[in-house]
Amino acid sequence: MNQPQSLALLFPEIKELLEQKDYPLLKQIIREYNSVDFSDVWTRFADDEKVQIFRLLSAASALKLFEILEVNDQKLLLERSSDESVFPILEGMDTPDLAKVFHKISPRAFKKMQSLFKRQDMIAHIDYLMKFPENTAGSLMHPEFVRLSPKLTAKQALLRLQTVIRPHQKDHLNSLFVVEDDGRLLGAVDLHDLITAPEDMKLGELMDSVEGIKVRPETDQEEVSKLFSKYQVDGVPVIDAVGKLIGVIGVKDIVEIERQEATEDIAKMAGTRAAEIEERSVFKVVRLRMPWLVVTLCGGTVISFIIKSFEPVLAQILALASFSPLIAGMGGNVGSQSATIMVRNLALGHLSSRAEQARAIFREFGVGVLLGCIYGVLLAGVAYGIYGHQYGFKFGLVVAIGMGTAMTIAATMGAIVPIFFNKIGVDPATATGPLVTTTTDIVSNFLYLGLATLLLFGRF
């Protein structure tokens, strides 16, 4: 059997079949592919086309696709699909995922969806989760979990798991927590340890501490993500004000969060927002990009004044101007690299102490010095080769020092700025990119032209 060609290549054909309403042939083509493949081209379809394709998928394929779509697309499909096609989707999804979608739909649509559920406990769980703000631990947690008593033996605990775990609920086995009779969280038990432990060993002796990983429901999802990364756990317990276990966040829930956070950080480093990635309106994209471009504009204005103040020097040695963009550009690149690394390390919780932050700053300073020396020497050779016969050795020296200074300052700024923003409670990804680049341009131009004035003309 031949392997079907890429769905992206078939996109024009699918669009044509949708326009012609040739649904039998379209259904045949769609069912040759894994429904996950549609996520790659999903944004290229119009809303009506998305709904039509979704209706042609089998119930299992529709659920698989629905679970990986963005929340706005999930909302669209729920509101515009029939009850018969929606019901299998609702029954197959986890309550935290449903709560995310229901946060977005209208109250009327929400009531309609609730009426489709057969299990009252599921409705109660969704209502409970929707009380918590979006993007918090409370909105992500699973209120259904296995409670194990510290008095149970390993054998009794395994028998209990066999009794309470229903088919297709194996994810619950990844996060086993031990609680008191009143619900207060005591510890966690690994399934592998439970299976290999002596049959008569009590869970109170077998359990591990959860002191470092338990969170409150109002904890931001990014902080939860850091815990998974730091402790390499399969589940994080969510507790209330008195220490009672009220929910569990699994590793599957955190994968989507990390993708969202990475998208937001990448967009912020570019001086915009994650919303732009899915946004189609030109005017909205412009509005998202404008704020931090103002910083660049103001910085560019300052650079213009700096260059104007050194106009007599540039008039005498026009060759200085030819190296100014290169020096500023190299400094900006090094600064962006350092800033990106620092933002990532802050996001992962690798720079939690002052000592770690100081080491990171000195490391980036050292990187800037070494890179500056290497590229400074290389550029000095180029400058001397081109202009040495006119201006002598000092011209190459000015270019070398300018390059070295610019790269050193840029790398150091790239390390300090994210830490500063993090200290004052501002997301370090938000303004780091534009601010580091603009500051580096200002400082490098001032120092470069200042050094030229001092070394070539003996004045400043």
For residues 36-43, give the mean pLDDT: 81
Beta-bridge mates of residue 185: 179
Average predicted confidence (pLDDT) for the chain: 80
342 alpha-carbon distance from chain centroid: 15
For residue 20, with 0-12 CB atoms within 10 Å meaning exposed, 13-18 middle and 19 or more buried, which class applies?
exposed
Query: Regarding predicted confidence, which is higher, 279 or 419?
Result: 419
The whole-angstrom distance between residue 66's C-alpha and the CA centroid of its chain comes to 21
Q: By mean pLDDT, which of 35-49, 228-242, 337-351, 428-442 is the weakest?
A: 428-442
pLDDT for 4 beyond 60? no
| Alpha helix positions (H), 207-281 | 221-231, 251-269, 275-278
> Residue 421 to residues 202, 255, 264, 381, 430: CA-CA distances in angstroms?
48, 26, 16, 39, 9
**Cβ-contact 348, 403 below 8 angstroms:** no
Q: CATH 1.25.60.10 in the chain, residues?
A: 7-131
Q: Provide the pLDDT for residue 408.
A: 92
Q: Please enumerate in sequence order all residues whose Cβ is within 8 A of that of 268, keeping only pairs 6 or more positions apart, or say none.
A: 274, 427, 429, 430, 431, 432, 433
Q: Please, where in the chain does CATH 1.10.357.20 lie?
A: 275-457
Residue in the structure block whose two tokens are 């050094």:
451
Q: In the CATH scheme, what is the code of domain 275-457?
A: 1.10.357.20
**Which range, 68-77, 99-108, 238-247, 416-425, is most confident?**
238-247
Phi (first) and psi of residue 281, to 5 degrees: -70, 125
pLDDT tens across 92-122, in order? 777 777 777 777 777 777 777 777 776 667 7
In the chain, CATH 3.10.580.10 sits at: 147-250
Per the model's pLDDT, the better-predicted residue between 121 and 47 turns out to be 47
pTM: predicted TM-score of the whole model, two decimal places: 0.56
From first CA to last CA, the distance across the chain in angstroms is 78
Indicate if the pLDDT at residue 188 is higher than 90.
yes
pLDDT of res. 265: 57
In tens, the pLDDT along 291-340 reads 656 766 676 677 777 777 776 666 657 777 788 888 888 888 888 888 88
Instruction: Write down the CATH number for the domain with range 147-250.
Output: 3.10.580.10
Distances (CA, A) of 423 to 277, 352, 400: 28, 11, 35
Q: How many helices (H) and strands (E) does the chain have?
A: 22, 5
* Domain covering 7-131 assigned CATH 3.60.20.10 in the classification: no
> Is the separation of the CB atoms in 363 and 402 below 8 Å?
no
Q: How far apart are CA 350 and CA 152, in angstroms?
A: 38
